Amino acid sequence: DIVMTQSPDSLAVSLGERATINCKSTQSVLYNSNRKNYLAWYQQKPGQSPKLLIYWASTRKSGVPDRFSGSGSGTEFTLTISSLQAEDVAVYYCQQYYSTPRTFGQGTKVEIK
């Protein structure tokens, strides 16, 4: 199984500042034939279901604010919130879909400083 590890487990960022979340996989999730990274990011606000933010490591889902961006390749990935807003308080998860079983990171809790 591919193990996904996020860092940090939590972070507190001032409003308007940048938040950066890292995600590492124990094996590459880059599929050589199409050069796509099989990596998604989700946001889960308190009391809500997770919501898809980004897939293919860097493709923002329609409707997701452009302050959210994803980057990385192979085994190391980053979710960046360029200017944190109050409504971004949530737990963020990465997930690989390169192989079965699909696996998630443990989550990173983002709070306002």
Partner 1 sequence: EVQLVESGGGLVKPGGSLRLSCVASGFTFSSYTMHWVRQTPGKGLEWVSSISYNSNYIYYADSVKGRFTISRDNAKNSLYLQMNSLRAEDTAVYYCARDLEQWLILGFFDYWGQGTLLSVSS
- 101 contributes a contact to partner 1 by CB under 8 A: yes
CB of 48 to partner 1, least distance (A): 8
Residue 20: name the closest of 83, 113, 96 by CA. 83
Shorter beta-carbon distance to partner 1: residue 16 or 101: 101
CB of 15 to partner 1, least distance (A): 27
Residue 48: name the closest of 106, 3, 104, 91 by CA. 91
Residue in the block written with tokens 């919501």: 51
Q: How far apart are the first and last CA of the chain?
A: 36
β-strand 108-112 against 103-104: which pairing, if any? Answer: unpaired
Restricted to residues 12-51, the positions that interact with partner 1 (CB under 8 A) are 38, 40, 42, 49-51
CB of 21 to partner 1, least distance (A): 15
* Contacts to partner 1 by CB under 8 A: 38, 40, 42, 49-52, 55, 61, 93, 95, 97, 100-107
